[in-house]
Amino acid sequence: MTAYPVLTTTTFLPLAGAALIMLLGSDRVVRWAALATTVATFAASLPLYVRFDKGLTALQFVESAEWIPSMDIAYGMGVDGISLPFIFLATLLSVLCIGASWSAIRTRVREFYAALLVAETAMIGLFAASNLFLFFIFWELMLVPVFLLIGVWGGPGRVYAAVKFLIFTLSGSVLMLVGMIAIYRTCGTLDFMGLAHARASLQHGQQAWLFAAFLAAFAVKVPMFPVHTWLPNAHTEAPTAGSVILAGILLKMGAYGFLRVSLPILPQGVQLFLKPMLIVSAVAIVWGAYVTLVQTDVKRLIAFSSVSHMGFVTLGIFTLNRSGVEGAILQMINHGIISAALFLCVGMIYERTHTREIKDYGGVGKIAPVYSTLLALFCLAAAGTPGLNSFVGEFLIIGGAFKTQAWLGGMAVWGVALGTAYLIWLYYRVVMGETNSRLVGLKLELNAREVATLAPLALLALCLGLYPECVLSYLRAPVAQLLAPGVTP
Amino acid sequence: MTDLTLLISELILAGMALALILVARRTQKTPVAAVGTVFAALAAALTSAWILSGGSGTGFGGMIIVDGYSQFFKVLIAATLALVTLLSVRSLEEIPRGEYHALLLLAATGMMLAVSAHDLLPLYLGLELMTLCSYILVGIRIAKPTSNEAAVKYFLLGSFASALLVYGISLTYGATGTTDFTAIASALSGAGQGRNVLLLLAIGLVAAGLAFKIAAVPLHAWAPDAYEGASAPVAAFLAAGSKAVGLAALGRVCLVAYGSETQLLSLILAGFAGLSIIVGSIIALSQTDMKRMLAYSSISHAGYALLGLIAGTPEGTSATMMYAFFYVFMTLGTFGVVIALGERGEKLDGYRGLAAQRAGTALLMLIFLMSLTGIPPTAGFAAKFVVILSVVRSGHIALAVLAVACSVVSAFFYMRVAVFMYMNEPQEPAPSRFPVALSAALAVAALVTLIGGISPGSLAAWAVSP
């Protein structure tokens, strides 16, 4: 492969940046240093996309070093077609987070950017880890920075939201710790590749409870119904950058866990839990959409829409057919782009109006045409309009669902219809109609920095909608490998 | 190797203690005692490591042993002593300095003797020396009624526990005719599977006596009062040192002396561990005094550390050794922040808004709290990982789940401090600058906590069970 450790550099560059930032003085310098770090990280990750071989199923850019020799645990990095798009998403969204926080964060600036950069290291590392131990370390490393991001720089209910987030995710992940230790004890390794071979030594009954242990961690992060209740609080109270990280990356970590751990290592456990998983996903789609309909707070509305959209993702994963799984991964990327964009849009206007209540808005279109156009694009994308990115993902997932069970496809279609309803209705109430008297005199139009922050996401939404192959081509080989032996019924 | 060279570390500490008492009057207002203690601790640590390079050996008719296990803990004890001395620099105004440091040194001597014991009698001797000095240290702030009360409570309960231990020792002697660990082991394995009630009682009593030293439930009642009444550095010394020594003694006694009674021991230890974890983490939730909260936290950590011993295997004992090592540094670090903040640090509310006033101190505290909760990449996670691995290996899955579930409970009260530090407004003026000694101690503790989390393998090579 390559002598230059691309993955390690990409992963730990933000951490180094965070350490540097803690030593810097003025807020201005800190902002620029943070921006430089994230841009450098993005640049450092570019060789990954250039030199990646889409035909291979094995991990690429593999790095391995001795770490804890007495326990035979190694430091291992590597990416395949499933994890690569997420590294792209994580590095890109981090840059945009800096852009979104430029003027919004005025207190304790240094710590804010340090926490953001530590979170970036955790996000990239999680997707680049090639063994379960490292995966777990990064999984947990994410916890404290996000806890601080929500709790220190969040809205009025931030402390409650932060503690709830911490306790929910920690409860899940400690069970994953026990599961990981049990796997290590039985298989003698924690390397993902090694585990895929050693999984035969896991008994049927053991697989069932191991799946349950990992499910506890993944379901909380996704979040699946009914352990999603931390999400509305956390997303609503977090500062914009925190919401973007939560919606864009953190929610994907759980679904990625299913793909990286549950499906390849615990196939019998997956079979056992298949039905409940599908039902819970369907419930999340429809129930989540209904709850979204009645929200009166813009940010909360988008947060609840994530429950419904992530329902699509878990539904796609557990259809266990190619269309469903590829659609699910594509939809994870799509949701990362769109929900991040929507949170950015909400954050930008909140910075000016200081209200999140839908009833305080109205007629924004007349004052801020550029903003309204971009918001329209993202709302349509989220609603699954053909030509924009979500359409492809949802289409593939629904196709997969119909192949598994017709009623699941029906539920998913119903969810799409409701999704269109709540998004268009939101757009109607915020942008159309007479200008709300509260907004008169406010300068709502976006400035160049904000347009530059949203533009990459808008472009991505269009590109992936018109040519989804640019992500799907990465997925083909690894998904085929994932579904080949013993997993599909 | 003559017998006395085996005890050279103990001799250094005891010698320094006697010297300090001799010159106590002359050095009352000077830092001589503190400097001397730190140097003695460093010398003891170095000699402990140096003795081992000559290989392990026994002396005094087989009563004292020097091996990797004993020297591991001796280095740990010396480090504890040095750090506690550095942490004490602020709280020396109203107490006799020479005597204070001499008592610390003598307590550490007792600890070292206990971890080197290869016979129940020197073990008891060492533990008693440690505990007697601790009683006085807890009550050394004569003017404070709470301090006196704590010392009396600690003394009464401690005497009771010592009685249990001595009773257990005498019953063991009655059942096997010896107090030497190897001889006990061979007598027990020779006795076959015949159940001897006397022996069961003896093992139970010895285990209970040692469980008191690590403050395991149900012998934990002394810890919250003693920690609250004692000055914070003494509380830190008890939390770190007493626990490490109790674990070391339990480890050797369980593995070497009573090693053949695995089933009974794992039952007793699992009971202590499970109860300690549950009681410690649940009662800590309602504490508003920082030192009391840390006392309950130390009780639950005693439970976690015991998890390694349940298996009764060398790997399990190594896990407990690693746990003890990392626990000492993270708990000393936490107490270090408490001490650094003075009066303000002793109540939970004092942490409100600390991050806005002293970002560096708050960050250190956050690292120690993460470590106590067991969140990577800190040493606390590595420690928790190895003990839970050991308990899963021994087949107690339910206990493992209980342990991690309680670590979520513990996240509530550890992270509440983080919430106060980061998410509340300051209510008190910013703390004054810390003395250099304090900052140095905090830096060492934080460094070990972080390096231990990032590269736990470096310690694992040293943690060899007897």
- Collapsed DSSP state (helix, strand, coil) of residue B462: coil
List the single residue in A147, A167, A175 with the smallest CB-CB distance to B412.
A167
Q: Are A178 and B404 within 8 A, CB to CB?
A: yes
Instruction: Check residues B431 and B295 and name the one with the higher pLDDT.
Output: B295
Token couple for A102: 């430029």
Q: What confidence score (pLDDT) does residue B102 get?
A: 95
Using alpha carbons, list the distances in angstroms from residue B23 to A220, A307, A369, B27, B209: 63, 72, 84, 6, 36
For B367, the domain range is 3-460
Using alpha carbons, list the distances in angstroms from residue A205 to A122, A200, A211, A267: 33, 12, 10, 12
Residue A344 near residue A351, CB atoms below 8 Å = no
Q: Find all residues with CB under 8 Å of A90, minimum gap 6, and list them.
A: A120, A123, A124, A127, A248, A249
Which residue in the block uniquely carries the two structure tokens 């349509």? A380
Comparing C-alpha atoms, which of A389, A417, A379, A403 is closest to residue A325? A403
Residues linked to residue B117 through DSSP beta bridges, in sequence order:
B64
Give the pLDDT confidence of A42-97 residue by residue, as tens digits: 999 998 888 888 888 888 888 888 888 888 888 999 999 999 999 999 999 999 99
Q: Are B356 and A175 within 8 A, CB to CB?
A: no
d(CA B59, CA B52): 14
**Residue A451 confidence (pLDDT) above 70:** yes
Residues linked to residue A64 through DSSP beta bridges, in sequence order:
A76
Comparing C-alpha atoms, which of B455, B430, B227, B460 is closest to residue B342? B430
User: In chain B, which residue's Cα lies nearest the Cα of A180?
Assistant: B389
CA distance, residue B138 to nearest chain A CA (Å): 36
Interface residues of chain B, partner chain A, Cβ below 8 Å: 355-356, 359, 363, 366, 370, 373, 375-377, 381, 384-386, 388-389, 392-393, 397, 400-401, 404-405, 407-408, 411-412, 415, 418-419, 422-423, 455-457, 460-461
- Collapsed DSSP state (helix, strand, coil) of residue A34: helix
Q: Is A242 exposed, middle or buried (0-12, 13-18, 19+ CB in 10 A)?
A: buried
Give A321's DSSP letter: S
Give the pLDDT confidence of A14-26 residue by residue, as tens digits: 999 999 998 887 8
Q: What confidence score (pLDDT) does residue B451 get?
A: 92
List the single residue in B356, B423, B461 with the smallest CB-CB distance to A162.
B423
List the single residue in A137, A167, A175 with the smallest CB-CB distance to B376.
A137
Give the pLDDT confidence of B452-463 residue by residue, as tens digits: 988 888 787 787
d(CA B157, CA B86): 29
Amino acid, res. B406: C
Mean pLDDT of A179-203: 86
Give the pLDDT confidence of B347-367 residue by residue, as tens digits: 999 999 898 888 889 999 999
- Collapsed DSSP state (helix, strand, coil) of residue A74: strand
- For chain A, the farthest-separated pair of C-alpha atoms sits apart, in whole angstroms, at 70
On whether residue B343 sits in a domain, the answer given is: yes
Comparing C-alpha atoms, which of B348, B339, B333 is closest to residue B419? B348
List the single residue in B392, B411, B423 with the smallest CB-CB distance to A170.
B411
Q: Are A177 and B385 within 8 A, CB to CB?
A: yes
Token couple for A195: 């585990």
Amino acid, res. A19: A
Give the pLDDT confidence of B291-305 residue by residue, as tens digits: 999 999 999 999 999
CA distance, residue A420 to nearest chain B CA (Å): 38
Q: What confidence score (pLDDT) does residue A363 get?
A: 83
Which of A170, A180, A184 best tests the B interface by mutation, with the highest count of B CBs <10 A?
Answer: A170
Q: Are B419 and A71 within 8 A, CB to CB?
A: no
Residue A363 near residue A349, CB atoms below 8 Å = no
Residues linked to residue A75 through DSSP beta bridges, in sequence order:
A65
CB atoms under 10 Å from CB of A196, counted, come to 14
On whether residue B347 sits in a domain, the answer given is: yes
Q: How would you label A387-404 residue by residue, b for 16+ Cβ within 10 Å and e otherwise?
A: ebbbbbbbbbbbbbbbbb
Q: What confidence score (pLDDT) does residue A211 get?
A: 92
d(CA A457, CA A374): 10
Residue A104 near residue A348, CB atoms below 8 Å = no
B chain contacts of residue A70, beta-carbon cutoff 8 Å: 457, 460-461
Task: Judge if pTM exceeds 0.80.
Answer: yes
**Residue B196 confidence (pLDDT) above 80:** no
Using alpha carbons, list the distances in angstroms from residue A25 to A22, A29, A97, A109: 8, 7, 21, 10
Give the pLDDT confidence of B381-409 residue by residue, as tens digits: 999 999 999 999 888 889 999 999 999 99
Q: Are B456 and A177 within 8 A, CB to CB?
A: no
d(CA B146, CA B152): 10
Comparing C-alpha atoms, which of B244, B240, B239 is closest to residue B69? B244
Q: Are B415 and A166 within 8 A, CB to CB?
A: yes
Instruction: Check residues B329 and B196 and name the one with the higher pLDDT.
Output: B329
**Residue B106 confidence (pLDDT) above 50:** yes
A chain contacts of residue B456, beta-carbon cutoff 8 Å: 68
Compute the mean pLDDT over every residue in chain B, rounded to the nearest whole number.
Answer: 91
Q: Are B422 and A148 within 8 A, CB to CB?
A: yes
Give the pLDDT confidence of B139-174 residue by residue, as tens digits: 999 888 999 999 999 999 999 999 999 999 999 998
B chain contacts of residue A157, beta-carbon cutoff 8 Å: none
List the single residue in B359, B407, B456 with the smallest CB-CB distance to A68.
B456
For chain B, give me the number of helices (H) and strands (E)? 21, 2
**Residue A345 confidence (pLDDT) above 70:** yes
Residue A143 near residue A180, CB atoms below 8 Å = no
- Percent of chain A scoring above 90 in pLDDT: 59
Q: What confidence score (pLDDT) does residue A139 get?
A: 93
Exposure on the CB side of residue B22, measured as CA atoms within 13 A: 6
Mean pLDDT of B229-257: 93
Token couple for A358: 């839908």
**Residue A2 confidence (pLDDT) above 60:** no
On whether residue B15 sits in a domain, the answer given is: yes
Q: Find all residues with CB under 8 Å of A460, minimum gap 6, and list them.
A: A337, A389
A chain contacts of residue B415, beta-carbon cutoff 8 Å: 147, 163, 166
CA distance, residue A353 to nearest chain B CA (Å): 24
Report CA torsion sign: A430, A434, A436, A442.
positive
Give the pLDDT confidence of A120-129 residue by residue, as tens digits: 999 999 999 9
Which of B285, B406, B415, B465 best tests the A interface by mutation, with the highest count of A CBs <10 A?
Answer: B415
Using alpha carbons, list the distances in angstroms from residue B224 to B235, B280, B413: 10, 10, 16
B chain contacts of residue A27, beta-carbon cutoff 8 Å: none
Residues linked to residue B65 through DSSP beta bridges, in sequence order:
B58
List the single residue in A108, A110, A181 with the smallest CB-CB distance to B388.
A181
Mean pLDDT of A391-403: 92
Which of A11, A22, A68, A131 best tests the B interface by mutation, with the highest count of B CBs <10 A?
Answer: A68
On whether residue B301 sits in a domain, the answer given is: yes
d(CA A402, CA A396): 10
Report CA torsion sign: A105, A107, A110, A114.
negative
Percentages of chain A per state (helix, strand, coil), in multiples of 5: 80, 5, 20
**Residue A248 confidence (pLDDT) above 80:** yes
d(CA A344, CA A95): 13
CB atoms under 10 Å from CB of A405, counted, come to 15
Q: What confidence score (pLDDT) does residue A488 get?
A: 45
Residues linked to residue A481 through DSSP beta bridges, in sequence order:
none
User: In chain A, which residue's Cα lies nearest the Cα of B367?
Assistant: A144
Dihedral (C-alpha) B145, B151, B155, B158: value to the nearest 10 degrees? 130
B chain contacts of residue A22, beta-carbon cutoff 8 Å: 363
Exposure on the CB side of residue A287, measured as CA atoms within 13 A: 11
- Percent of chain B scoring above 70 in pLDDT: 99
Q: What confidence score (pLDDT) does residue B193 get?
A: 53
Q: What confidence score (pLDDT) does residue A54 get?
A: 85
B chain contacts of residue A68, beta-carbon cutoff 8 Å: 455-457, 460
Q: How confident is the model at residue A489 (pLDDT cuts 50, 70, 90)?
A: very low
- Collapsed DSSP state (helix, strand, coil) of residue B371: helix
Q: What confidence score (pLDDT) does residue B118 get?
A: 94
- Collapsed DSSP state (helix, strand, coil) of residue B353: coil
Q: Are B389 and A185 within 8 A, CB to CB?
A: yes
Dihedral (C-alpha) B83, B87, B93, B95: value to the nearest 10 degrees? -50
B chain contacts of residue A141, beta-carbon cutoff 8 Å: 376-377
d(CA B190, CA A158): 65
Token couple for B384: 């928790």
How big is the CA angle at A473 (ends A470 and A474), to the nearest 5 degrees?
Answer: 95
Which of A30, A67, A70, A214 best tests the B interface by mutation, with the highest count of B CBs <10 A?
Answer: A70
Using alpha carbons, list the distances in angstroms from residue A195 to A186, B34, B440: 10, 54, 44
On whether residue B465 sits in a domain, the answer given is: no
Q: Are A171 and B408 within 8 A, CB to CB?
A: yes
Q: Are B419 and A167 within 8 A, CB to CB?
A: no
Report CA torsion sign: B423, B424, B429, B432.
negative
Q: Are B392 and A182 within 8 A, CB to CB?
A: yes
**Residue A406 confidence (pLDDT) above 80:** yes
B chain contacts of residue A158, beta-carbon cutoff 8 Å: 423
- Collapsed DSSP state (helix, strand, coil) of residue A191: strand
On whether residue B124 sits in a domain, the answer given is: yes
Amino acid, res. A333: I
Interface residues of chain A, partner chain B, Cβ below 8 Å: 22, 67-71, 108, 110-111, 136-137, 140-141, 143-144, 147-148, 151-152, 158-159, 162-163, 166-167, 170-171, 174-175, 177-178, 181-182, 184-185
d(CA A468, CA A347): 28
Using alpha carbons, list the distances in angstroms from residue B437 to A64, B2, B443: 40, 37, 10
Comparing C-alpha atoms, which of B311, B352, B341, B391 is closest to residue B232? B341
**Residue A205 confidence (pLDDT) above 90:** no
How big is the CA angle at A170 (ends A167 and A171), to the nearest 5 degrees?
Answer: 80
Token couple for B208: 């209970």
Residues linked to residue B66 through DSSP beta bridges, in sequence order:
B57
Number of domains in chain B: 1
**Residue B19 confidence (pLDDT) above 80:** yes
Which of A178, A183, A184, A189 best tests the B interface by mutation, with the highest count of B CBs <10 A?
Answer: A178
**Residue A1 confidence (pLDDT) above 50:** no
Comparing C-alpha atoms, which of B86, B85, B32 is closest to residue B437? B86
On whether residue B437 sits in a domain, the answer given is: yes
Q: What confidence score (pLDDT) does residue B391 get?
A: 92
Q: How would you label B206-218 residue by residue, b for 16+ Cβ within 10 Å and e otherwise?
A: bbbbbbbbbbbbe
On whether residue B466 sits in a domain, the answer given is: no
Task: Give the helix/strand (H/E) hosting B22.
Answer: helix B8-22
Comparing C-alpha atoms, which of B389, B80, B65, B107 is closest to residue B252? B65
**Residue A3 confidence (pLDDT) above 70:** no
Cis peptide before B233 (omega within 30 of 0): no
